A and B are shown apart, each in its own frame.
Chain A
Amino acid sequence: MFNNLFAQSGRLLRINLKRDRFKMLTWIVVIIGLMIGYASKIGVIYSSQSSVNALMVTLRSPAMIAVLGYVPANVKMTEAILFSSEMLVFMGLFYALASLLLSVNVTRGDEEQGLTELVQAKGVGRQATLMAAFLESVVFNLVMFVLLGVGLQLANMTGSNTNGNWLTAALLSGVGLLFGTSGILTAQVTAEARTASTYTIGLLGLSYLVRMMIDVQNPDYNWWSPLGWIERGAVYYDNNWLPVVYIILAIIVILGAAIFLSARRDVGAGLIATRAGKATSRFLRGPLTTLIKVDAKGFWSWFFGAIIMGLMYGSIFNSITDVLKSNKFMEQMFSDAMKNKASDALLLQFLSTLSVVFVLIGTVRGIVLVNKLDGDAKKGYLEQFLAKPVSRVRIFWTYVGYALVNALMAFAAGIGGLYAGNIAVMGNHPLALKYFTRLFAGYSVTIAVMIALAAVVIAFAPKLKSIAMIYTGVAFVVMYFRSIFKLKDWMVELVPYGWMRDIPVKEIDGTVLLGLLVVAVVLLVVAASGFQRRDQIMN
């Protein structure tokens, strides 16, 4: 029975590992490289006590806590604790993302392409593909565990200890495997790879947001989020291994559920069955309407996702200004006008750091849609358009235009949510609307530049389409960590967002805005003519 279910899992695993080796290697190099590189340089970057103190002020600000997690109080700050407070939660996000994308691709992605059908006809156990996907996630996270553990040992930060180094590695790999397994579970429920990864990423986003709310308001409750478990490890000061046990238990439960569900469904189908529909549609008439209908689910998920995220960030605005009320001196000596000014200043600082998150959401949304131009060509959808009296240029502008509009809509939804949250919690003195509109106006053009860049890549070298996404990731890290990593201005200006780094505190520089707009338009025109000239179906 057992044999029958899991037969040849090992062989499948080997095949999958061989196929995914470059993907996995890229993730490993990026994640481990970033962590070990930083761990070994942290003593150089923060050589003096005063620079460490300055950093602690930054890290204890609500914006940083919201993104990076809380910093332990009443603990002597060492390089090791500094490292864990800065890196662990955020890296946990990367571990989880890498694992879930891999496992969804192995299960659902393969099934969609009909590979599973091919494989299961060949004396492979019914549950073998699921098991192979799980084992691949285990192997991937195990490799990361060993590399990170050894790397941290070698980096030898002051204040680090062997127990803490391996606990760090175990917590991160554990969270990676946890979300990898969750990806396998959702892949059983949904009928498409894209939906499965959307759900799991949604779950990850939710864990992250819950942790954020808790960390900003009361860190004692962060047992409630799997990403909070990483913080509960209290690495390097308490070295608590209990969260690792929690993670392992959770993995077993989720894997069990996935196996249970998988046994109850057919290959190629999800648990949620596809219903029949109407034979006609008044709406559908060309490429744009087709794109809108195909993307409808994606549209609403991104739209509401961004609003919710904005609302959640907006709803902690009052916690940020709480510091003013708790200060007795300020309470008594400052006039209301002065207090309001101080409140605005705090919020603006928070907003200027945090807005990059929403810029990222908008950009990613847009780039995913631009890359669809290549994805749909590969899937054979584009061939249907191209055989019709529809010009190549029209197809290009349809996809890119749709991407641009949607990117800005997702960005606007996030900023709108932020503003609404701000209105809801800030009572008689919310932050003024003009700062939010300034934020939107300024960063919109940078998003347009990023999308135009993605379009150029798609037009000239679709095989390299991941470049745009990688550049976006780099741009985000540069913007968010420029103060921590002490980046120079010219470095920040290597990414489009960097040109808007002073808003919303300062006004938008009109020349810069116009310059970015010209860059975006030129890139788009170049991309359109490139697309117009190349083969539409690339082998």
Chain B
Amino acid sequence: MADQIVLDVQHLQKKFGKFQALKDINLQVRQGEVVGFIGPNGAGKSTTIRTILGMLKADGGVVKVFGEDAWSQAVQIHQRLAYVPGDVYLWPNFTGGQTIDLLLKMSKQQHSAKTDELIKKFELDPTKKNQTYSKGNRQKIALIAALSCDVDFYIFDEPTSGLDPLNEIIFQAEVVRLKDEGKAILLSSHILSEVEKMGDTIAIIRQGTIIESGSLDEMRHLTRTNVNVSSTGELSTLKDLSGVHQFKLIDDSKNKAEFSVDSDALQAVMQVLTDKGITNIQVAPPTLEDLFMRYYGDTDVEPEVNKHVQ
């Protein structure tokens, strides 16, 4: 049961008029798994999620949730699913508490002790009117309603973009709890460190295509390791070794350097280093930031797409 597939997206395509928003999306989420869905603004994260939620109709490919078609079986699927949109807009003149209850009722869920606990944890005042809440507080309302649902699949679209660091930690702890309970979670973000803290698996989307996906370990395998080293011998010759990148001498000294190494060249580089007489070495696995930079950094940086500019 533990590896049962909850979400299965195969070769999803979506067009808006002439604009091909999604070209080829392949994405799986299993029980007990947090999948980080990463990409820059405008890459197609929200479009993918809305297709999964049956709000948009796929032009090609297959989108199945709990083994059922996301478009035609939306009602059945949504009984077992909770969602927090990227931009949370709430009905004016309702209070936060009323909104949470309404969202729960529509999901056929109860306002539980868990709900009260979350309201307390996130320090939300549920008596204020929706239009007076800030972006972060609106996000909290949607998060509280979603997190206190007892369902099998949770979708969060850039859930912490308006939260302060303390609330972000609370959210992350909640996601880890859900994961431990065997729930499936899809978490979209352009904040990489966030996904890194919770995710087992990531899928990277760019211009409507999933360009890379796999477990975090697998992905690291494909990437460079960061090395910070001090030695007795001169280090400048390392610069010309194959597989060494971004080589930099520190403090103009010949014995201190910083560089990254392709994983498959690590063995060779370490052998050269040992001969130099290492006095101090720090080796760090790549952050998702590095991973991300490798795909987006050198080549064209995509412009920020603001959804609200008409």
Closest-by-CB residue of A relative to B126 is: A279
- What residues of A have a CB within 8 angstroms of the CB of B103 in the complex? 384, 388
Q: Is B96 an interface residue (CB 8 A)?
A: yes
A279 touches B98 (CB 8 A): yes
A276 touches B95 (CB 8 A): yes
- What residues of B have a CB within 8 angstroms of the CB of A434 in the complex? none
Main secondary structure of the interface of A (DSSP, over half): loop
Q: Is B56 an interface residue (CB 8 A)?
A: yes
A279 touches B74 (CB 8 A): no
- What residues of B have a CB within 8 angstroms of the CB of A506 in the complex? none
**Known A284-B94, A286-B106, A389-B106: A277·B76 in contact at CB below 8 Å:** no
- Give Cα A294 to B106, complex, Å: 17
B92 touches A294 (CB 8 A): yes
A535 touches B55 (CB 8 A): yes
- Give Cα A379 to B57, complex, Å: 20
Q: Which residue of A284, A386, A388, A391 contacts B107 across the interface (Cβ within 8 Å)? A: A388
Q: Is A154 an interface residue (CB 8 A)?
A: no
Q: Which residue of A279, A287, A385 contacts B97 across the interface (Cβ within 8 Å)? A: A279
With both chains docked as a complex, state the minimum distance between the C-beta of A120 and any C-beta of chain B, in angstroms.
17
**A-B interface pairs (CB < 8 A), number:** 113
B56 touches A536 (CB 8 A): yes
Q: Which residue of A192, A390, A534 contacts B57 across the interface (Cβ within 8 Å)? A: A534
A387 touches B87 (CB 8 A): no
B93 touches A293 (CB 8 A): yes
Q: Is B248 an interface residue (CB 8 A)?
A: no
A279 touches B96 (CB 8 A): yes
- What residues of A have a CB within 8 angstroms of the CB of B94 in the complex? 281, 284, 293-294
**In B1-32, which residues have CB < 8 Å from any A CB?**
16
Q: Is B254 an interface residue (CB 8 A)?
A: no
B55 touches A278 (CB 8 A): no
- Give Cα A199 to B95, complex, Å: 24
**Known A279-B98, A279-B126: A380·B89 in contact at CB below 8 Å:** yes
- What residues of B have a CB within 8 angstroms of the CB of A507 in the complex? none
Closest-by-CB residue of A relative to B146 is: A387
Q: Which residue of A280, A386, A388 contacts B98 across the interface (Cβ within 8 Å)? A: A280
Interface residue total, chain A, C-beta cutoff 8 A: 38
With both chains docked as a complex, state the minimum distance between the C-beta of A204 and any C-beta of chain B, in angstroms.
24
With both chains docked as a complex, state the minimum distance between the C-beta of A535 and any C-beta of chain B, in angstroms.
5
**Known A281-B101, A384-B103: A276·B129 in contact at CB below 8 Å:** yes
B91 touches A294 (CB 8 A): yes
Q: Which residue of A387, A535, A536 contacts B83 across the interface (Cβ within 8 Å)? A: A387
Contact count band on B: 35 or more
- Give Cα A276 to B81, complex, Å: 31
Q: Is A383 an interface residue (CB 8 A)?
A: yes
Q: Is A132 an interface residue (CB 8 A)?
A: no
Q: Which residue of B81, B83, B95 contacts A278 across the interface (Cβ within 8 Å)? A: B95
- What residues of A have a CB within 8 angstroms of the CB of B276 in the complex? none
Kindly supply a per-residue 1/0 record for chain A positions 254-282, scoring 1 wherever the CB is within 8 Å of any chain B CB and 0 otherwise: 00000000000000000000111111110
B97 touches A389 (CB 8 A): no
Closest-by-CB residue of B relative to A539 is: B16
B102 touches A274 (CB 8 A): no
With both chains docked as a complex, state the minimum distance between the C-beta of B21 and any C-beta of chain A, in angstroms.
8
Q: Is B245 an interface residue (CB 8 A)?
A: no
- What residues of B have a CB within 8 angstroms of the CB of A278 in the complex? 95, 97-98, 127
**Known A276-B129, A380-B85: A389·B95 in contact at CB below 8 Å:** no
Q: A274-B129, A293-B91 are in contact. List 18 more A-B contacts (CB 8 A).
A: A191-B131, A192-B92, A277-B93, A277-B98, A277-B127, A277-B128, A277-B129, A278-B127, A285-B102, A290-B91, A379-B89, A386-B53, A387-B53, A387-B55, A389-B108, A535-B56, A536-B55, A537-B50
- Give B residues with C-beta under 8 Å from A: 16, 50, 53-57, 74-76, 78-79, 81, 83, 85, 87-98, 101-103, 105-108, 111, 125-129, 131-132, 308
Of the A-B pairs whose beta carbons lie under 8 Å apart in the complex, a sample of 26, sorted by A's number, is A113-B308, A274-B131, A276-B95, A277-B129, A278-B97, A278-B127, A279-B96, A279-B97, A279-B98, A279-B126, A284-B94, A284-B105, A286-B106, A294-B94, A379-B89, A380-B89, A381-B89, A384-B85, A386-B54, A387-B53, A388-B107, A389-B76, A389-B108, A390-B78, A390-B106, A535-B56
- Give A residues with C-beta under 8 Å from B: 113-114, 191-192, 274-281, 284-287, 290, 293-294, 379-381, 383-392, 533-537, 539
